[in-house]
């Protein structure tokens, strides 16, 4: 295919994979998959001081968890430094760049002057046309782009439309620092070109960089990739996204018990729409995704919506995969290791059996873990204060009698235990609820639980009779 699409996700490993980055990755992934192209992953680690190994690991891990795979090997930008230098030298040789010997003091003075005069071009062109023989001794020069001083730089952005900058407002960019290290702006252009990137999809905080990068592309005679700058994610009130509003790492969403499929579905709708469809399977997302569906206004992060989507995905997941996800998430949640220690063949089977009932109520895997508590609880059960009030002497006595009635039930299923309880209630002249509530407390230690007959069936005869025995008068 001649017009094969190549996108890339290019995170700087200075922190975790935050939610905005995850959305950018998703959009790039979807676009590549939709067009039968490739999505590459480039770790932009040129800032040696701020890039860390744990951040790289968190990014790779977050992408994998979200199910966003990339094509080929991960590219580490820093390894291309020699190539970036070569391109800067090439521009120098062609007269499209020049050596700048301005001292830090001179640069500061220029900046202050420009700011005082309200100009956005900060560098005054001091060395643009000056003869290098005038260079002060001992000062390592930077290499700057000889950017056009008149005319316009235009980006035809797929999301923002036609964006125009007056060249008189743009600086002669530094391409290579005095220490010979390439700047981020040069590295991005060279890498995108060398990696064959055809489409750049990223946050609109990079829009001004698109103009700067376009000038480098022009100087090199390279074609500019197709550009899409997506509006950033804001908080529910329209302000900058704060931690409280969801500006967290993808790992935090995993620890909060969200399913990757639900988060993907939530993220795709943050800033992109397809009619009024809200729920998208991965295949549907790939089929429907297009740049034209990306809106121009900032998307607002809404935890309630994410939660309700997650509940939908939990309800529609099959029971066995929920058991697997339940187990996986235990490594990421507080006290997960306590539950993990109690996972064995029996409790796994009980969890699977309880799942149809558990999954109806849970909006997150955390809620699922919480409501499965009764499976893993040790005898004698810890009784919640609210539930303890129900264990009156009368009710304890009732529990004792009920225990006797249940002892005779065989086989032990939700249906047979239900029949036995109904018969018991009738015989005792009590409403079913009057019997069920103390029973629930004795079996789960709480006043709320999945359906009581499910609880009976899941725990099995022996455990139920033992728990009832614990609360019955001795």
Query: Residue ranges for the binding site for ATP?
Result: 243
Q: Does 396 bind ligand GLU (CB under 6 A)?
A: no
Task: Please provide the DSSP assignment of 188-232 as one string.
Answer: HHHHHHHTT--EEEEEGGGHHHHHHHHHHHHHHTPPPPEEEEEPP
Taking the complex as a whole, the smallest distance from the CB of residue 22 to ligand GLU amounts, in Å, to 12
Residue 358: exposure state from Cβ atoms within 10 A (0-12, 13-18, ≥19): buried
Kindly write out the interface string for residues 171-190 of this chain, putting x where it contacts ligand GLU by CB under 6 A and - elsewhere.
Answer: -----------------x--
What residues contact 307, with CB distance under 8 A and at least 6 apart? 363, 364
Q: Does 261 bind ligand GLU (CB under 6 A)?
A: no
What phi and psi values does residue 272 have, to the nearest 5 degrees?
-130, 140
Q: Does 144 bind ligand GLU (CB under 6 A)?
A: no
The answer to whether 337 and 283 have CB atoms below 8 angstroms apart is: no
Residue 156: exposure state from Cβ atoms within 10 A (0-12, 13-18, ≥19): exposed
Taking the complex as a whole, the smallest distance from the CB of residue 10 to ligand GLU amounts, in Å, to 4
Number of H helices, E strands in the chain: 20, 12
- Which range of residues in 6-14, 98-106, 383-391, 438-446 is near ligand GLU by CB under 6 A? 6-14
Question: How many residues interact with ligand GLU (rule CB under 6 A)?
Answer: 7
Question: What are the structure tokens assigned to 435, written together?
Answer: 């019997």
Q: Does 45 bind ligand GLU (CB under 6 A)?
A: no
Kindly write out the interface string for residues 375-394 of this chain, putting x where it contacts ligand GLU by CB under 6 A and - elsewhere.
Answer: --------------------
Give me the residue label for tokens 């704060």.
242
What is d(CA 155, CA 206) in angstroms, rounded to the nearest whole number? 12
Taking the complex as a whole, the smallest distance from the CB of residue 44 to ligand GLU amounts, in Å, to 4
What is d(CA 309, CA 267) in angstroms, rounded to the nearest whole number? 11
For ligand GLU, the closer of residues 83 and 206 by Cβ is 206
Kindly write out the interface string for residues 198-237 of this chain, putting x where it contacts ligand GLU by CB under 6 A and - elsewhere.
Answer: ----x---x-------------------------------
Using CA atoms, how far residue 147 sits from 167, 169, 173, 222, 348, in Å, is: 8, 11, 8, 15, 66
**Catalytic residue check, 243:** yes
The answer to whether 221 and 87 have CB atoms below 8 angstroms apart is: no
Give me the residue label for tokens 């939709």.
34
For ligand GLU, the closer of residues 192 and 367 by Cβ is 192
Q: Does 191 bind ligand GLU (CB under 6 A)?
A: no
For ligand GLU, the closer of residues 50 and 119 by Cβ is 50
For ligand GLU, the closer of residues 57 and 341 by Cβ is 57
Pick one of 10, 25, 55, 472: the residue that binds ligand GLU (CB under 6 A). 10
| Binding site listing | 243
Q: Does 12 bind ligand GLU (CB under 6 A)?
A: yes
Pick one of 7, 30, 41, 44: the residue that binds ligand GLU (CB under 6 A). 44
Question: What are the structure tokens assigned to 88, written together?
Answer: 């800067």
Compute CA 140 distance to the chain's CA centroid, rounded to the nearest angstrom. 43
Catalytic residues: 243
- Could you list the residues that contact ligand GLU (CB under 6 A)? 10-12, 44, 188, 202, 206
């Amino acid at each position: 295919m001649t017009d094969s699409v190549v996108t890339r996700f290019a995170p700087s490993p200075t922190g975790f994979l935050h939610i905005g980055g995850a959305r950018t990755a998703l959009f790039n992934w979807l676009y590549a998959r939709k067009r039968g192209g490739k999505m590459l992953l480039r770790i932009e680690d040129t800032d040696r001081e701020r890039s860390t190994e744990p951040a790289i690991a968190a990014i790779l891990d977050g992408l994998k968890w979200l199910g966003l795979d990339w094509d080929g090997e991960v590219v580490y930008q820093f390894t291309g430094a020699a190539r970036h230098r070569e391109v800067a030298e090439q521009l120098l040789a062609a007269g499209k760049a020049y050596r700048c010997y301005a001292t830090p003091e001179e640069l500061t003075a220029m900046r202050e002057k420009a700011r005082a005069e309200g100009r956005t071009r900060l560098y005054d062109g001091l060395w643009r046309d000056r003869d290098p023989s005038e260079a002060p001794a001992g000062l390592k020069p930077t290499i700057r782009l000889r950017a056009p001083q008149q005319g316009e730089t235009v980006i035809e952005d797929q999301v923002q439309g036609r964006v125009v900058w007056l060249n008189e407002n743009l600086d002669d960019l530094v391409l290579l620092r005095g220490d010979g290290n390439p700047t981020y702006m040069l590295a991005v252009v060279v890498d995108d070109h060398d990696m064959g990137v055809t489409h750049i999809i990223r946050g609109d905080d990079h829009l001004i960089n698109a103009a700067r990068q376009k000038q480098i592309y022009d100087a090199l005679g390279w074609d500019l990739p197709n550009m899409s700058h997506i509006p950033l994610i804001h908080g529910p009130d329209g302000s900058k996204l704060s931690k409280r509003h969801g500006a967290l790492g993808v790992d935090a969403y995993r620890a909060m018990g969200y399913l990757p499929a639900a988060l993907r579905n939530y993220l795709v709708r943050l800033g992109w729409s397809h009619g009024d469809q809200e729920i998208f399977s991965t295949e549907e997302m790939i089929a429907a995704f297009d740049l034209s569906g990306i809106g121009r206004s900032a998307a607002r992060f809404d935890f309630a919506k994410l939660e309700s989507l997650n509940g939908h995905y939990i309800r529609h997941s099959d029971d066995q995969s929920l058991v697997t996800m339940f187990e996986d998430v235990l490594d990421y949640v507080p006290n997960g290791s306590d539950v993990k220690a109690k996972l064995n063949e029996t409790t796994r089977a009980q969890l699977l059996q309880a799942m149809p009932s558990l999954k109806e109520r849970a909006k997150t895997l955390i809620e699922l873990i919480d409501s499965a508590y009764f499976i893993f609880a040790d005898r004698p059960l810890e009784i919640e204060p609210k539930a303890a009030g129900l264990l009156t002497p009368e009710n304890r006595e009732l529990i004792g009698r009920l225990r006797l009635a249940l002892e005779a039930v065989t086989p032990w299923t939700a249906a047979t235990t239900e029949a036995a309880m109904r018969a018991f209630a009738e015989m005792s002249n009590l409403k079913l609820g009057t019997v069920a509530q103390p029973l629930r407390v004795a079996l789960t230690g709480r006043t709320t639980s999945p359906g009581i007959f499910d609880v009976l069936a899941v725990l099995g005869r022996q455990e139920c009779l033992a728990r009832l025995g614990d609360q019955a008068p001795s």
